[in-house]
Amino acid sequence: MERQAKIYVAGHRGLVGSSIVRKLQAEGFTNLLLRTRAELDLTRQADVEAFFSAERPDYVFLAAAKVGGILANDTYGGDFIRDNLLIQTHVMEAARQTGVRKLLFLGSSCIYPKFAPQPMPEDCLLTGALEPTNEPYAVAKIAGLTLAKAYRKQYGFNVISLMPTNLYGPGDNFDLSASHVLAALLRKFHEAKVTQSPTVTVWGTGTPRREFLHVDDLADAALFLMRCYESSDLINVGVGEDISIAELAAVIRDVVGYQGDIVYDLSKPDGTPRKLLDVSRLHALGWRARIPLREGIAATYAWYCANHGR
């Protein structure tokens, strides 16, 4: 990738997109195409086609997506499947038609079956039922992955698909009605500390296990794979280690400095029992995550305090 190549980062204000922009800029890439949703609505086909025809980017990082936690996915499933199908279809088709040299598509580990083998290898895709609470989002991402693979086969379009694990970091969504678990817990513990609340409530039993990758590690992996990976096969991006929600809550309580108790709301769903990616394929290519979980949480909390805390 030449330093002056035109690179479009779709979703550059989001958690993933903003991190990819930081990584590209740090690596000396200066010709970045960035558009807010107000400037370019990716759910509108005509607008996407007009943008690609006018700008003709060389490379595309497709990080734009409608995302959210269990509550948001379970409540607004129609919005999640519709918007994600539209975004990825419009961007991939416009990129193909205008001669984009390579496109990187970002999926999600929720594409794998609810009771997939652990850790989850790439070839367990479509071998079992999905987790019901985020099935619409997962189906959209599976469709995007299938579209990418079909476009490579039929048209020779150079597109690669990454399946990242659970992400966190600066720029995360801390809205409790839409956030993922790590960001939600950071906010809950911070507000409980500020208000001196005696307890913090955690959804579910605390027993599900999750893997967490700092978004800056994902951005590093994305650029690494954009440079060297040339396969239609999806590739997992994660740490290769997981932690229970109860253990995560304890780490966050310690990082925040909260002194109260943790209680569990058993009326709320746990979601998938375990989500750990098999990252052996990625490790074989020579890439590994570098940011330890506690260190990453501490840095994310510092960012939250600077931008949202009171």
Where do the domains of the chain lie, and which CATH numbers do they carry? 7-171+212-240+275-291 (3.40.50.720)
Q: How far is CA 282 from CA 163, 178, 221, 240, 247, in A?
A: 11, 30, 9, 10, 27
* Beta-ladder partners of 277: 120
Confidence of residue 72 (pLDDT cuts 50, 70, 90): confident
Tell me what pLDDT residue 167 has.
94
Long-range contacts of 252-257 (CB under 8 A, 24+ apart): 252/182, 252/185, 252/186, 252/189, 252/297, 252/301, 253/189, 253/200, 255/294, 255/297, 255/298, 255/301, 256/186, 256/189, 256/190, 256/193, 256/301, 257/193
Backbone angles phi, psi at 220, to 5 degrees: -65, -45
Q: How confident is the model at residue 76 (pLDDT cuts 50, 70, 90)?
A: confident
* Dihedral (CA of 187, 252, 245, 14) sign: positive
C-alpha 222/C-alpha 71 separation (Å) is 28
39 pLDDT more than 90: yes
Q: Which two tokens stand for residue 39?
A: 């400037």
43, 78, 184, 297: CA torsion to nearest 10: -50
Mean pLDDT of the chain: 95
Helices 135-155 + 77-97 axis angle, to 10: 10
Say whether 268 counts as a known binding-site residue: no
210 is in an annotated binding site: yes
Give the residue carrying structure tokens 């010709």: 31
State the Cα–Cα distance between residues 47 and 89, nearest whole angstrom: 13
Q: Is 44 annotated as a binding residue?
A: no
Q: Which residues are catalytic?
A: 137
Q: Which residues pair with 108 in a beta bridge?
A: none
Coil, helix or strand for 3? coil
pLDDT band at 310 (very low <50, low <70, confident <90, very high): low
Residue 246 has pLDDT above 70, yes or no: yes
180 annotated ligand-binding residue = yes
State how far the Cα of 310 lies from the Cα of 195, in Å rounded to an integer: 10
Cα–Cα distance, 93 to 32 (Å, whole number): 20
* Residue pLDDT, tens place only, 115-138: 999 999 999 999 999 988 889 999
- Residue-level pLDDT at 269: 84
What is the pLDDT, as a whole number, of residue 109?
Answer: 87
To the question of whether residue 106 is assigned a binding role by annotation, the answer is: yes
> 159: part of which helix (H) or strand (E)?
strand 159-164
CA distance 207 to 205: 5
For the chain, give the percent of residues with pLDDT over 70: 99
Rounded to two decimals, what is the model's pTM? 0.94
- DSSP assigned state of 69: -
Whether 157 and 99 have beta carbons less than 8 Å apart is answered as no
Q: How confident is the model at residue 309 (pLDDT cuts 50, 70, 90)?
A: low
CB burial of residue 197 (10 Å; 0-12, 13-18, 19+): middle
pLDDT digits (tens, 9 = 90+) for 148-203: 999 999 999 999 999 999 999 999 989 887 678 899 999 999 999 999 999 999 99
The pLDDT value recorded for residue 45 is 98
Tokens of 73: 């996915």
Average pLDDT over residues 275-289: 97
Strand, coil or helix: what is 259?
Answer: coil
Helix (H) or strand (E) holding 210: strand 209-210
Residue written as token pair 């985020």: 134
Mean pLDDT of 59-85: 90
Q: Residue 285, annotated ligand binder?
A: no
Q: 56 among the known binding-site residues?
A: no
Mean pLDDT of all residues in 209-232: 97
The confidence score (pLDDT) of residue 74 equals 82
pLDDT of 71 reads 78
